Copies of this chain bind each other. A is one copy, B any other.
């Protein structure tokens, strides 16, 4: 599954476009975010993407999971969103 990394600076509409493009191929996509501001941008991106793919008869659903990452030698907990067509 493709993995997109979202930061606090990411633009929701751009990330939403990328999510929608993957979903339209019939695949799922994962989004990774570290920290509250990045998680917030990820959530906005997913909300926008849902609207983008409704005309394609894609019922976007997701679920968040915790995932451990190593960043500059330190353990960090990130949130990973798995995004799929519900069917």
**How far, in whole Å, are A87 and B64 apart by their CA atoms in the complex?**
18
Give chain B residues whose Cβ lies under 8 Å from the Cβ of A43.
Answer: 39, 43, 64, 79
Total copies of the chain: 2
Contact indicator per residue, chain A 54-69, by CB within 8 Å of chain B (1) or not (0):
0000001111111000
Which of B44, B60, B62, B63 is in CB contact (< 8 Å) with A79? B44
Q: Report B-chain residues with C-beta under 8 Å of the C-beta of A62.
A: 61-64
* A18 CB-CB contact with B under 8 Å: no
- A46 interfacial contact with B, CB 8 Å: yes
Q: Which chain B residue shows the least CB distance to A77?
A: B44
Would you call B61 and A46 a contact (CB within 8 A)? no
Instruction: Return chain B residues, CB-CB under 8 Å to A66.
Output: 44, 47
Q: Is A36 an interface residue (CB 8 A)?
A: yes
